[in-house]
A = this chain, B = another copy of it.
């Protein structure tokens, strides 16, 4: 399908599917059976990390979110072209559960293997594929080293989960070296929702809908930690994105943080921030959404700069294969400059994106 390059969008959220045997192939002998392993049992795809079951999804559902482009870079480019997408930020699929291991060495090794594969097999195939290097979460020195190793070869952002291991909330001083390293390296942080802990929190009637909503709470908590503990104050050049979180909650969190800071006055506030929480958000925070129109209604509160669209390719909760139609619906009646900022311009401020060739 021919597309005027001026209409191409950038997607702030997509997923690539790693080979099923990636970690068994690449892990050192001693860890081989402890990396992510997938087995089919009773028509369910069961994923183990370190011998622990971390996922159990219907095979037919998993197949529905695995078009050839999920793992084949050429097919992926064809899908991007067909959907009218130019560049995209890429997150993992099978590696999403690595953070559920409680072994720092295993987390680090699995992260390194994923990042190497992403670099060699995906990013090398096109500059339109902008990969997020995944970082381990149990040891800050490991995370800093993996950040620096990947930035040195051109990675522009790192992927961190929105849920953290016990005792390592993002307001912990244990994380300070990572924030400093990211700012120094000049890269942004990308927190992807539904990661770092089992995202199926609620069981029973209506659980699928409730869990889809609840998956944005850890993003909101992470945002609060980074603002309220003073991370964004200390690192004014650090840009932070919350991916697949939706966008329309952002003003609610901004207002509620401001309400707490203003109303508690001299009570309980530690540290005391020189600016309002919402001001840090406007300066340094971005959120990605797939379908939300409510985000547009509140853009004057959070600022247009904060909003980025993402396809979530190839997931069902994303816009594939109806991206063009979805975007038309979201941006009906919205001015061109706002649409362009949210569907690509803000992305191009965070990341170096190659110039589209004229059609």
Output the nearest chain B residue to A201 by Cβ-Cβ distance.
Answer: B221
The SS class assigned to the A binding surface is helix
Cβ-based interface call for A123 (8 A): no
Which of A61, A208, A209 lies at the interface centre, i.e. has the most chain B CB atoms within 10 A of its CB?
A: A209
13 A-B interface contacts by CB (under 8 A): A171-B206, A171-B207, A202-B225, A205-B230, A206-B224, A206-B227, A206-B230, A208-B270, A213-B256, A214-B221, A214-B224, A252-B292, A294-B301
Cβ-based interface call for A333 (8 A): no
Using Cβ atoms and an 8 Å threshold, which residues of chain B touch A216? 252, 256
Using Cβ atoms and an 8 Å threshold, which residues of chain B touch A112? none
Q: Are A228 and B209 in contact (CB under 8 A)?
A: yes
CA distance A249 to B217 in the complex (A): 11
Using Cβ atoms and an 8 Å threshold, which residues of chain B touch A316? 263-265, 267
Using Cβ atoms and an 8 Å threshold, which residues of chain B touch A139? none
Cβ-based interface call for A261 (8 A): yes
Among all A-B residue pairs, the 9 with the closest Cβ atoms: A206-B228, A212-B260, A205-B229, A208-B268, A209-B228, A251-B294, A210-B224, A206-B229, A249-B252
Cβ-based interface call for A271 (8 A): yes
Q: Are A213 and B207 in contact (CB under 8 A)?
A: no
Output the nearest chain B residue to A317 by Cβ-Cβ distance.
Answer: B263
Q: Are A277 and B229 in contact (CB under 8 A)?
A: no
Using Cβ atoms and an 8 Å threshold, which residues of chain B touch A318? 263
Cβ-based interface call for A55 (8 A): no
Cβ-based interface call for A344 (8 A): no
Q: Are A317 and B259 in contact (CB under 8 A)?
A: yes
Cβ-based interface call for A18 (8 A): no
Q: Are A255 and B251 in contact (CB under 8 A)?
A: no
Output the nearest chain B residue to A216 by Cβ-Cβ distance.
Answer: B256
* Contact status of A260 and B209, CB under 8 A, knowing A61-B267, A169-B202, A252-B294: yes
Which of A172, A221, A260 lies at the interface centre, i.e. has the most chain B CB atoms within 10 A of its CB?
A: A260
Q: Are A228 and B255 in contact (CB under 8 A)?
A: no
Q: Are A206 and B225 in contact (CB under 8 A)?
A: yes
Interface string of A188-229 (1 = CB under 8 A from B): 000000000000001011111110111011001100110111
CA distance A207 to B260 in the complex (A): 10
Using Cβ atoms and an 8 Å threshold, which residues of chain B touch A291? 255, 259
Interface string of A265-307 (1 = CB under 8 A from B): 1011111000001000000000000111110011011000000
Cβ-based interface call for A246 (8 A): yes
Cβ-based interface call for A353 (8 A): no
Using Cβ atoms and an 8 Å threshold, which residues of chain B touch A220? 213-214, 217
Using Cβ atoms and an 8 Å threshold, which residues of chain B touch A327? none
Output the nearest chain B residue to A220 by Cβ-Cβ distance.
Answer: B213
CA distance A208 to B260 in the complex (A): 7
From the candidates B212, B227, B300, name the one contacting A209 in the complex (CB within 8 A).
Answer: B227
